[in-house]
Structure 1
Amino acid sequence: MNLNELRDRAYKTACDHGFHDEELSNEHCLCLVISELMEAVEADRKGRFAKVPVDKKDTIFDERTFHYQNKYFAENFEAYIKDCVEDELADAAIRLLDLCGLRKIDIEDFTEEMLYGAEESCNDETFTESVYAISTIPIRYEYEYDYPLGGQLNSMLLAIFGLAKHLDIDLIWHINQKMRYNDLRENKHGKKY
């Protein structure tokens, strides 16, 4: 997975949709990441998980048909994926990727060992505890470890990927689908910011 390519794509889409028409603080952007994580908690509380099979071949999610040029893509995305845990975790990752693009921060390659460690850290936690731990990384890592913003964002991304792996979620697939869906949306997705 090349997260720097995804970073550039997320940032370009955000720019194209007006999200960077004005200068926003890191705190503003991080709050929006956390809001996506809280939406994931709400989806989990409601038992809302995407109805996407692992093997997508010969289903509506097959790459041959499940793409933004298919007139049913948005409709199927909204029916089977939108507002589910997977979708909200993808949103949080996309917002982090976008912030990395905005601040010109490189994303490190996450090794299997790093992903395994991030996944293992979720073993004795509830979903909400894992999300809380991710949400507090910027504060904890700045004050406890003096991590710069880049280290904080990389750590948050790694933790989200670890949680997704713990839940058997193909986060890269969900990020790609959400980015395709976002490409079709109106300026600022119809929101104030």
Structure 2
Amino acid sequence: METSLKNLDKLAKEIFIERSLESLDELAKEIHKAQQEAGWYDNERSDNTLLLLIKSEMFECFEAYRKNKGVNPLSPAELDYLLRLSIIEAEQFKSLFELRVKDGMADEFADMVIRLLDFVAYKKITIIQIKRLEISFCPENYFLQLDERITSLYNKEVKALDVGFIFETIDHITAYHGFDLRKHIELKLAYNKLRGKRHGNKKI
């Protein structure tokens, strides 16, 4: 079966199951609020800039995959330990996170989803889940599909289905690698709180 964007969109409208993900909607609102408090919205930001930032995280994911960095999942016990540590011992958590998690593939996907959820809340888009027929897995093709989907959103009104396909693709990749994406998102949010305003006054 062809997996072009046109065919996938057609299938989605006809046979895919779509439903609201309330937990992700709430997380998106929390992330957007945190981004505002961190100073990222002190100046006006265009949709294209926000999409470009999402894409920049995607390329960092691909670089981590290409360099085989952090492609093996951490154990549930280690993830839970890091989450507990983030609450009770910030400096120790920061050091261990930078040693064991930072810039790995799962961490970069967490960054990408944080950017995407921030965009979703900013644009007030309802998150939907798309369940589709399984296709053979090839990581390179999934990155190409992500790139194509994000690029297709420039200079257009972004809809829930557009975002749903991006989430679905990320879900396939992270599930394939055995990453607990939600816990990695929580870890990265905890780490980001330690980085100061605009993560050291980055420009955008």
* TM-score normalised according to structure 2 size: 0.78
Out of 34, 39, 53, the residue aligned to residue 74 of structure 2 is 53
Out of 15, 31, 45, the residue aligned to residue 24 of structure 1 is 45
Structure 2 residue aligned with 1:79: 99
Q: Rg: which structure is higher?
A: 2
Out of 16, 27, 31, the residue aligned to residue 10 of structure 1 is 31
How far the C-alpha of 1:51 sits from its partner, in A, is 6.6
SS in 1 for 2:88: coil
The aligned length equals 181
Contact residue 72 and residue 177 of structure 2 kept, 8 A: no
C-alpha spacing 1:15/1:64, structure 2 compared with 1 (3 Å): closer
**Range with greater deviation from structure 2 (148-157 or 29-38):** 148-157
Equivalent AA in structure 2 for residue 129 of structure 1: N
Q: Deviations over 1:68-87 (max 9, x none)?
A: 43131111111100000000
Out of 172, 184, 194, the residue aligned to residue 184 of structure 1 is 194
1:162-177 matches, within 5 Å, as 162-177=172-187
1:56-67 matches, within 5 Å, as 56=77, 59=78, 61-62=80-81, 65-67=84-86
Structure 2 residue aligned with 1:129: 141
Q: What RMSD, in angstroms, separates the aligned Cα atoms of the two structures?
A: 2.6
* TM-score normalised according to structure 1 size: 0.82
Q: Deviations over 1:3-62 (max 9, x none)?
A: 112101210111111111122111111111111010011111111116753231xx5742
Equivalent AA in structure 1 for residue 50 of structure 2: C
Contact residue 40 and residue 88 of structure 1 kept, 8 A: yes
Equivalent AA in structure 1 for residue 88 of structure 2: Q
Distance 1:44 1:28 in 2: 25
Report % sequence identity. Answer: 27
Contact residue 71 and residue 177 of structure 2 kept, 8 A: no
Structure 2: 5+ residue runs without aligned partners? Answer: 1-20
Q: Deviations over 1:165-189 (max 9, x none)?
A: 1221111111111111112221111
